[in-house]
């Protein structure tokens, strides 16, 4: 008697057909192909904002250096008078993330450095004068797929400047990808 009960019950229940399941899987695949690039771009913008905050700190240190010495800072050592200039020893995020022994204070270890890695290992930061009384501090994204220190065309960069004559500063988060898009600013 119990056998007949289960037999009848299975006949009365509705289920999904294979075709319906395939349609649902295809729709999920299409939605994923639209959403995933958007999330990846958000990650790149977040990294860009992080290095922009780092550069903002460097600009404040540069203003202090100029106020005290009357000249623009030339290197990490000059900035190091007012802020710790921390870099990741490597240009790979995977080697820098959560690894304190992979970071160092470049202002102490190599004070004459004009180029160093960001704390995340994602960017190459440069400092230098561009025009009369103008300092530029820029961040160009680095490739994350190899041990070479090649720059990346797949991420966004940051430019900043300090005009010593006017005291004006500016930071630009570039909206176009590529290290060539990171230009020196005129403040």
Tokens of 115: 């180029």
How many C-beta neighbours within 10 Å does residue 107 have?
24
How many C-beta neighbours within 10 Å does residue 153 have?
13
How many C-beta neighbours within 10 Å does residue 170 have?
13
Q: What is the tens place of the pLDDT at every residue in 113-153?
A: 999 999 988 999 999 998 888 999 999 998 887 655 588 88
DSSP state of 164: T
Q: Is residue 6 over pLDDT 70?
A: no
Listed by start position, the domains of the chain span: 15-181
Virtual torsion, Cα 132, 173, 126, 82, nearest 10 deg: 80
Predicted pLDDT at 151: 86
Q: CA angle, 59 as apex, 53 and 60 as ends, to 5°? A: 95
DSSP 62-100: HHHHHHHHSS---SHHHHTTTS--EEESSS-HHHHTT-G
Let me know: does 61 contact 82? Beta carbons within 8 Å.
yes
Distance CA 159, CA 118 (A): 14
Predicted pLDDT at 125: 96
Q: Is residue 16 over pLDDT 90?
A: no
Distance CA 90, CA 108 (A): 17
Q: What is the tens place of the pLDDT at every residue in 49-70?
A: 999 999 999 999 999 999 999 9
Q: Pairing between strand 86-88 and 169-177? A: unpaired
Tokens of 119: 């704390």
């Amino acid at each position: 008697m119990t056998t007949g009960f289960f037999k009848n019950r299975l006949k009365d229940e509705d289920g999904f057909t294979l075709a319906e399941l395939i349609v649902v899987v295809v729709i999920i695949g299409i939605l994923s192909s639209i959403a995933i690039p958007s999330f990846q771009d958000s990650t790149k913008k977040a990294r860009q904002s992080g290095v922009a905050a780092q550069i903002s700190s460097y600009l404040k240190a540069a203003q202090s250096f100029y106020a005290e010495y009357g000249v623009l800072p030339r290197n990490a050592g000059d900035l190091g008078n007012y802020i710790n200039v921390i870099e990741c020893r490597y240009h790979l995020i995977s080697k820098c993330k959560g690894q304190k022994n992979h970071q160092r204070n470049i202002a102490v270890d190599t004070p004459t450095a004009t180029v160093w890695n960001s704390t995340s290992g994602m960017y190459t930061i440069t400092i230098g004068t561009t025009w009369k009384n103008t300092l530029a501090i820029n961040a160009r994204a680095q490739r994350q797929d190899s041990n070479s220190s090649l720059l990346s065309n797949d991420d966004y960069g940051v430019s900043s400047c300090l005009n010593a004559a006017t005291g004006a500063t500016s930071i630009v988060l570039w909206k176009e990808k590529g290290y060539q898009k990171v230009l020196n600013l005129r403040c």
